[in-house]
Amino acid sequence: IFGKVQPVVFGETEAKRLKDEYVSVEHLVLAILDESPAGTAQKLLKQFGVTREKFTGSVRGFTVALQCSVGFQ
Q: How far is it, in rounded angstroms, from Cα 52 to Cα 30?
A: 6
pLDDT, tens digit, for every residue of 26-58? 889 998 998 878 888 899 999 999 998 898 888
Q: Average pLDDT, whole number, for the chain?
A: 80
Q: How far is it, in rounded angstroms, from Cα 5 to Cα 13?
A: 13
The structure's pTM equals: 0.69
Q: Which amino acid is at 57?
A: G
